[in-house]
């Protein structure tokens, strides 16, 4: 297979001052991309700021690559637009966006404050929206682009004490799926990853497993999804420890009460095993496919 390269391409990586984002930025640059390293430089709970992006830019340039730093917060429309403008001002365009910025404010649901909810949603979900929208406009006009969103096992499957984080992370799946549909006619592909890797956000949670979950073992999936070699869109991939797997939502046939009949709650209870059965599921790519399946069943 031909090597995957990014010559003459421009990539924006948010939250790239450390951890997974740093790994993505370094690998994209090593393969020829010009990279905007965006990072506010905050702490794991999202407070404070530093010039963490400068260190990653230095690593890239010292290795012979091209990169510029961006310190804008993605949590506002203005900040998101500035990140993309940084790419245009420095390199003339944007071809790739890897939405990686984020932090944690874990709290059990009864104790979760509105500040802890809004802070997470503003950076993870709205931040990805604010960066991707101006980038999408550029990509649509030029007829090419790659968007990579970062979800999480917490969003896909749930995790105790992460209601805010999980809600934002699952929201990113929906956002990516819509952009995959809207981008299909103009060469813009959009996919989502759910990484598991040791970082300052997760090292305490992973314990001894951390040594098996280095961030650079996730990077190959991101690099592929960001490349011209990628021909999939609207999909979700788990990436952890060098293992890569597709995650999907399936719609099973379920149980149909019968044409013209009025089912009751008791009917649902009596047939819950059939309703819950996973046999014969379908993986849909848009909401109209469900309507088509439903029409077939009802007829």
CA 31/CA 2 separation, integer angstroms:
13
In this predicted structure, what is the pLDDT of residue 299?
A: 80
Q: What are the beta bridge partners of residue 193?
A: 150, 237
Q: What are the beta bridge partners of residue 68?
A: 36
Residue 228 Cα to chain centre, angstroms: 18
Q: Is 63 exposed, middle or buried (0-12, 13-18, 19+ CB in 10 A)?
A: exposed
In this predicted structure, what is the pLDDT of residue 270?
A: 98
Catalytic residue among 165, 224, 237, 281: 165
Beta-carbon count within 10 A of 181 CB: 15
* Exposure of 25 in the CB half-sphere (CA atoms within 13 A): 35
In this predicted structure, what is the pLDDT of residue 43?
A: 57
Walk along the chain (299 residues) and give the pLDDT tens digit of each residue: 899 999 999 999 999 999 999 999 999 999 999 999 999 876 565 565 568 899 999 999 999 999 999 999 999 999 999 999 999 999 999 999 999 999 888 899 899 999 999 999 999 999 999 999 999 999 999 999 999 999 999 999 999 999 999 999 999 999 999 999 999 999 999 999 999 987 655 555 555 555 667 999 999 999 999 999 999 999 999 999 999 999 999 999 999 999 999 999 999 999 999 999 999 999 999 999 989 988 888 88
CA 204/CA 166 separation, integer angstroms:
18
Please indicate whether residue 165 is annotated as part of the active site. Answer: yes
The tokens for 274 are: 């059939």
pTM of the model: 0.91
In this predicted structure, what is the pLDDT of residue 208?
A: 57
CA 35/CA 97 separation, integer angstroms:
10
In this predicted structure, what is the pLDDT of residue 42?
A: 61
In this predicted structure, what is the pLDDT of residue 156?
A: 95
| Contact indicator for 37, 12 with CB cutoff of 8 Å | no
User: What are the residues whose beta carbons fall under 8 Å from the beta carbon of 259, sequence distance 6 or more?
Assistant: 298, 299
């Amino acid at each position: 297979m031909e090597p995957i390269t990014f010559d003459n391409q421009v990539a924006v990586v948010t939250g790239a001052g450390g951890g997974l984002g740093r790994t993505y930025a370094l690998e994209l640059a090593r393969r020829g991309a010009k990279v905007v390293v965006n990072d506010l430089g905050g702490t794991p709970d999202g407070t404070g700021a530093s010039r963490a992006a400068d260190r990653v830019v230095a690593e890239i340039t010292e290795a012979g690559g091209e990169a510029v730093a961006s310190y804008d917060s993605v949590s506002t429309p203005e900040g998101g637009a500035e990140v993309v403008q940084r790419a245009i001002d420095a390199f003339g365009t944007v071809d790739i966006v890897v939405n990686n910025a984020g932090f944690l404010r874990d709290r059990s649901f009864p104790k979760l404050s509105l500040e802890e909810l809004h802070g997470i949603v503003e950076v993870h979900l709205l931040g990805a929206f604010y960066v991707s929208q101006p980038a999408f406009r550029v990509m649509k006009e030029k007829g090419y682009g790659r968007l990579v969103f970062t979800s999480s096992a917490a969003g896909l499957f749930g995790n105790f004490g992460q209601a805010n984080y999980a809600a934002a992370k699952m929201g990113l799946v929906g956002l990516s799926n819509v952009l995959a549909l809207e981008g299909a006619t103009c060469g813009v592909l959009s996919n989502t990853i759910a990484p598991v890797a040791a970082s300052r956000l997760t090292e305490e949670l992973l314990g001894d497993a951390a040594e098996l979950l280095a961030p650079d073992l996730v990077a190959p999936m991101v690099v592929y999804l960001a490349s011209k070699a990628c021909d999939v869109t609207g999909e979700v991939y788990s990436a952890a420890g060098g293992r890569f797997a597709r995650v999907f939502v399936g719609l099973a046939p379920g149980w149909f009460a019968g044409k013209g009949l009025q089912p009751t709650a008791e009917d649902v209870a009596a047939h819950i095993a059939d309703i819950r059965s996973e046999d014969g599921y379908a993986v849909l790519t848009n909401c109209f496919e469900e309507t088509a399946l439903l029409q077939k069943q009802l007829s």
